[in-house]
Every structure is written in C-alpha cells, then in structure tokens.
Amino acid sequence: MTSPQTLLRGRTLNFTAEPNGPDDTQAYEYCEDGAILIQDGLIVASGDYVSVSAQATDAVVIDHRPHLLMAGFIDTHIHFPQVQVIASWGAQLLDWLNTYTFPAETQYADPAHSATMAGKFFDQITAHGTTTAVAYCSVHKTSADAFFTEAARRNMRMIGGKVMMDRNAPDGLRDTPQSSYDDTKALIETWHGKGRATYAITPRFAITSTPAQMEMAQALVQQHSDCYVQTHLSENHDEIAYTAELYPNARDYLDVYQSYGLLGPKMLLGHSIHLKPREIDALVETGAHPVFCPTSNLFLGSGLFDDAGLRGRGVTNAIATDVGAGTSYSMLQTLNEGYKVLQLQGQSLHPLRAFHWITRGNALALGLENKIGTLAPGSEADIVVLNAAATHAMALRLERATTLSEELFILMMMGDDRAVDCVYLGGKASENT
C-alpha cells in the first residue's frame, strides 16, 4: 500500500550537469514557481508547479514560497567523535590530534556517551542542511553502532566506519590488526546495505596503522568491494615526512595505500593538498577521489587545495566540512572558505558550480547520483529549503540581487544554519528544523 503524497511548493533548483560558467543554463533547471511531489520517500516529479501539481492525487501541500528548494547537502568527510573539540585553539595537525582529538575519542568506548553524542551530531548536521555525510567514527565498535543506529532512526542515507588504528595513539584508542578486522567485519554484516546505511572501511591514516593493519584493510576491501574506503592523505608537511619514515619503501604517501590495493573509485582521500606528480597520475588512473576540506585546511594552516589542477587532469574532487578541525558544520560556510582558498590561487568558484558541488557533485564522487544530490524522479526525497534573507544583513544584501547566481552567492558567503528553513529526510520534515 502506498503512502499519501506530499507536494512541496517553492522556487526549485535542480542540477542536471556541472555548470561550466555563469551562462550555462543547460546545466540546471530553475522554476520561480516550482514544486516537488513526494511519495514513499522518493521524488515522483519536480519542476513547475502547474505541471507537477497536475500529477498529484490528494497530496498534502506544504508551501515554502518564497524560499528555494534543492537537493540536500552532502558532506563527504566529517568526524563524528569530534563534535566537542570543534573550535579548539591552536596547533597544527599532529599536535591538534594528540592534544584534543585523541583524548575526546577515548570516551566513545562508552555506549551511552556514543549514543548521546550521535544524537547531538545528527542534530547539528541536519540543522545545517546536510542530509548525507561520510563519517569517521572512533576506534571503538560502539561508536559506529551508535552512529548507524541514530542514522536509521532518522531515516538518513549515511556512510561511515570505525577507524582502524593500532599505533601512534594513546591507550584506549588503539585496536590491533585482528580486532580491527573482526570489528569491521561485524559492522559490515550488521549495517552495510541495511536501510540507507553504507559502510566505509576506514584506516585512519598511514601514521596510525602498521603494515599488518594495512594488510587487514586490504583483505576487507577485497572481500567487500561494494564498501567505500576512506582515509587521509598529504594534509601537512610533518605528516608526510613522518609517513615516509614509517613506510620507507613507499614511493610517496599515496603509495602506502596504493601498494595495499586500496585505491579505486570508491576511495575518498581527505585533504590531498601536497601531492607529487606521480600521486596525481595514480589518482587519475585509479579514479580515487580527493576531498577538499577548506575550513580545516585554513584552521590548521595545512595548505591550499589545488582544485583546478586536479580537475584539469580529470580528477573528480569532493568537498567537505572535516569537523572537528573544520570550523563549521555548514556546507554553505565550507563553500565560503573554499571560495577564498581558490581565490588565493587565482582559481574561481562560481556559485552555480559551488551548489552543484555540494549536491550532485558530491553524489557523483560517491557514485550515488541516481539516489541523492538531485530532484530527479526516483531520487530519494532529501531536500533542503533555503532562505537567502535569513538575517538582516542577508536581507539587506538580497534587496540588490537580481539573478539566481547572486542569491546563491549570498547564501554561500553569508549563510549558515539560520539560512536553512527546513530539511526533509526521505520525504519527512526533520525533527530539528
């Protein structure tokens, strides 16, 4: 038996391709009086209100005019256990991990703490318009169970995994090669492909995994090729140097992962800032995806991501918040800082491409463009409702805006959770928006 229909009315924006520039109107569909018809958690139709409403049968109409409706935001790199260390002062990557991150993550051995923080985490991301995220949990199986349990309760399409780390971390925050394999296998069996959950095999990074654990990660990837793989790459010069000491036979940092067969189209490599030519060649050859994390790269002083250079080689880059070194849960603020990082390198980020990036673009990087990231019929009904006049300053600026691109630029430069009027998860309004 089918469920009742819901008809959302407002201005709608749907990307069908990556915009090549401000005049590329073929890359998106924009309706001043638009609608999205939803049934059984899926989008039945979207487009102009007259034609879409004609397809509705006894639909509940929710009028969001004059706000903008688009696919929910996708965050491709975020640390669930770092919700309480965001905005921790000072230090670069390795010191920051040891001073703030690792002590906080030890608490996630406690199932009650993990469950409480999972609720807080999902409250934050949905309030900021994010409907899908790729998350690192702590080393503890309990943290991943709490993460997926809360995601299922909210009917959210989420990707995540417990980190594998058996060295260079404090007591209480290390597993072993065998236990990391066993725990990951158990989590995959429990959660992967169940409902809207997908597992990511997660060796944290080369520094915290021995060769023996990398072998276990390799075995997991071979046994579960439909899982994602996520880790960190070339974020910081000291990190790169330390990795070279730990893996002296590797040709470069990326070769640590490549030599264990981890690279492929389902691999997400957080940061990927200081890449050597051979590493870029390997990304091109394997289809692995760098993930641009602008707010954390600036916060930790790590460096500037070369988006244009990688794109010029045909690499598909994702973009993400990287909370907690990232300083905001907002993909809007991520675009704000990303715009500045690219400006410093003489690169541009037009608002149309920016909003494509955090919706359909990130979905493409995940291979999920047929499920999320657009308003196409058959897509899952994860939708964000945006108000570009959410603050007095935004409203004042909006008075002078005359185009969609100007409105989008206001949202990405001045917007945050206050600009998110409502979020729909599988067609249902989120409990905290």
Run means of pLDDT, 10 residues per run, the chain, 433 residues: 90 97 93 98 98 95 98 98 88 83 92 98 98 98 98 98 96 96 98 98 97 98 98 96 98 98 98 98 98 96 97 98 96 98 98 98 98 98 98 98 97 98 97 78
**Where do the H-state alpha helices sit in 128-176?**
141-153
Tokens of 73: 């935001």
Residue 264, CA distances (Å) to 11, 259, 415 in order: 38, 12, 35
Cα(268)–Cα(273) distance, integer angstroms: 13
pLDDT at 276: 98
Could you tell me the CA-to-CA distances from 134 to 203, 219, 430 in Å, in that order? Answer: 14, 21, 19
d(CA 418, CA 360): 23
- Whether the Cβ atoms of residue 229 and residue 268 lie closer than 8 Å to each other: yes
Query: How far from the centroid of its chain's Cα atoms is residue 16's Cα?
Result: 20
**Which is nearest to 368 in space by CA: 130, 128, 133?**
133
Query: What is the reported pLDDT for 96?
Result: 79
| Burial degree of 421 (CB within 10 A; 0-12, 13-18, 19+) | middle
User: What SS3 state is found at 380?
Assistant: strand
φ, ψ at 315 (rounded to 5°):
-80, 135
In the three-class reduction of DSSP (H, G, I as helix; E, B as strand; rest coil), residue 391 is classed as coil
Q: Which residue has the tokens 């995220």?
A: 133
Query: Tell me, what's the pLDDT at 1?
Result: 63
What distance in Å separates the CA atoms of residue 248 and residue 242, rounded to the nearest whole number?
A: 10
- 144 closest CA partner among 161, 123, 129: 161
Tokens of 230: 């996520």
pLDDT attached to residue 90 = 75
